[in-house]
């Protein structure tokens, strides 16, 4: 473990790095478990250690900055954010650990958990690519892929561009269609297995999607000091608790292979822990704690907004597609209707009067979106 020693490091950078790394960890953890990739699991563990270190560093920074009771109160939001983010990273590490246990799930289950035909893989840069831009690596392969992060020693570079200079032993995390990664010999061919498990998989996918949505909403609620968004997070936390309780019962009643039961149960526990961590972040706002200026500064530099709106009567019965939100680069993330939530609705889904919808949009489009849903 890296020894903790004080050094000046802006709190804003610490929080942004913790947030980015925790999101990357969750993504990597599912792939590590699904594909039994021990190397990727170890990447998750190294990220967990980095987040633990950053949490300690932030605690020192905040402690030194507190001069009186008012300062101490404003620091609560920083401490809560850091602690909850660390819990998210711990949950991701628990999911990734299944790769070390050699516990696997059948192919159909894997596809559901990773949400489609895409997959992740690792590329280790050799001496021949030292000092060359990333775009040359793109040209080397006959397949299109995205590099979502680069690990360089113990540092992670997020969203590298085509002109990012590569170094020998850089570890690239790439995303591409599964068949492309198989053809690139970066992934084993899929196994042929029966499908099944439809109800259990619907539940575990809903747990996964809801917990990830809650994290986005929780960060947004604090950074915008939005009590409305924070309340939605707490509502979803109760929803996840009930969903997970029913999921546990179904797992115990289902006659599944031990390894598959273990994997699905670990995912369920992990998603429930992530949901709890998100609710802890949202509680900052619900308890009336004003966000630290650092958090306000972060949202000021953010291009995206997450907002909660109610559907007016004039839009009753309209399909999401007909609202043409894509024209203002906006997307509906969830709909609440009569106490029930629909996460990641499709373009064909209808909105009803008094539905509560949660949207993601760019900052410059927020006023247009609000006008569209004005009562």
Write b or e for each residue in 174-205: b if 16 or more Cβ atoms lie within 10 A of its Cβ, otherwise e. bbbebebbbebebbeeeeeeeeebeebbebbb
Beta bridge mates, 350: 319
- pLDDT tens, residue by residue, 298-343: 665 666 778 888 999 999 999 999 998 888 878 898 998 988 888 8
Mean pLDDT of 125-142: 89
- Residue 249 clears pLDDT 80, i.e. is over it: yes
Give Cβ neighbours of residue 139 (< 8 Å, ≥ 6 apart). Answer: none
Q: Grade residue 351 by pLDDT with cuts at 50, 70 and 90.
A: very high
Mean pLDDT of 201-216: 88
- Residue 195 clears pLDDT 60, i.e. is over it: no
Q: What is the mean pLDDT of the chain?
A: 83
Identical topology for domains 11-106+197-295 and 303-372: no
- Residue 17 clears pLDDT 70, i.e. is over it: yes
pLDDT at 6: 67
- pLDDT tens, residue by residue, 162-178: 889 999 999 898 888 87
Q: Which fold has domain 303-372?
A: Alpha-Beta Plaits (3.30.70)
Reduce the secondary structure of 265-321 to three states and give it as a string.
Answer: HHHHHHHHHHHHHHHHHHHHHHCCCCCCHHHHHHHHCCCEEEEEEECCHHHCCCECH
How far, in whole angstroms, is CA 245 from its chain's centroid? 22
> Could you confirm whether domain 117-183 is CATH 3.30.70.1450?
yes
Other beta carbons within 10 angstroms of residue 331's beta carbon come to 14
Q: Which fold has domain 11-106+197-295?
A: Methane Monooxygenase Hydroxylase; Chain G, domain 1 (1.20.58)
- pLDDT tens, residue by residue, 52-67: 988 888 888 777 766 7
State the Cα–Cα distance between residues 263 and 259, nearest whole angstrom: 6
Mean pLDDT of 22-39: 85
Longest CA span, the chain: 64
Tell me the CA distances in angstroms from 276 to 273, 283, 341, 358, one per residue in order: 5, 11, 17, 19
Beta bridge mates, 306: 360
Domain ranges of the chain: 11-106+197-295, 117-183, 303-372
Mean pLDDT of 243-250: 91
């Amino acid at each position: 473990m890296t020894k903790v020693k004080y050094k000046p490091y802006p709190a804003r950078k610490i929080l942004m790095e913790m947030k980015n790394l925790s999101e990357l960890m969750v993504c990597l953890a599912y792939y590590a478990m699904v594909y039994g990739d021990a190397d990727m699991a170890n990447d998750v563990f190294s990220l967990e250690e980095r987040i633990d270190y950053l949490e300690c560093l932030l605690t020192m920074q905040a402690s030194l900055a507190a001069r009186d009771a008012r300062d101490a109160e404003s620091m609560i939001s920083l401490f809560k954010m850091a602690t909850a983010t660390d819990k998210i990273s711990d949950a991701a590490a628990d999911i990734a650990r299944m790769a070390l246990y050699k516990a696997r799930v059948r192919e159909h289950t894997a596809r559901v958990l990773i949400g489609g035909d895409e997959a992740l893989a690792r590329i280790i840069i050799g001496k021949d690519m030292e000092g060359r831009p990333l775009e040359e690596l793109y040209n080397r392969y006959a397949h299109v892929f995205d590099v979502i992060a680069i690990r360089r020693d113990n540092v992670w570079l997020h969203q590298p561009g085509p002109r990012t200079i590569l170094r020998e032993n850089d570890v690239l995390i790439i995303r591409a269609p599964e068949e492309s990664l198989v053809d690139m010999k970066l992934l084993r061919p899929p196994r042929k297995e029966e499908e099944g498990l439809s109800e259990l998989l619907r539940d575990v996918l809903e747990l996964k999607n809801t917990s990830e949505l809650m994290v986005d909403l929780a960060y947004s609620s604090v950074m915008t000091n939005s009590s409305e968004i924070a309340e939605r997070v707490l509502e979803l936390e109760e929803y996840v608790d009930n969903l997970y309780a029913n999921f546990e019962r179904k797992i115990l009643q289902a006659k599944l292979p031990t390894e598959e039961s273990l994997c699905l149960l670990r995912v369920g526990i992990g998603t429930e822990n992530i949901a709890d961590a998100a609710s802890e972040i949202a509680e900052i706002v619900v308890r009336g704690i004003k966000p630290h200026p650092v958090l306000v500064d972060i949202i000021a530099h953010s291009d995206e907004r997450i907002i909660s709106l109610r559907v007016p009567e004039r839009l009753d019965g309209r399909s999401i597609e007909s609202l043409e939100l894509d024209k203002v680069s906006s997307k509906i993330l969830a709909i609440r209707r009569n106490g029930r939530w629909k996460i990641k609705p499709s373009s064909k889904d209808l909105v009803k009067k008094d539905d509560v919808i949660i949207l993601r949009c760019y900052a410059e489009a927020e006023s247009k979106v609000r006008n569209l849903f004005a009562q």
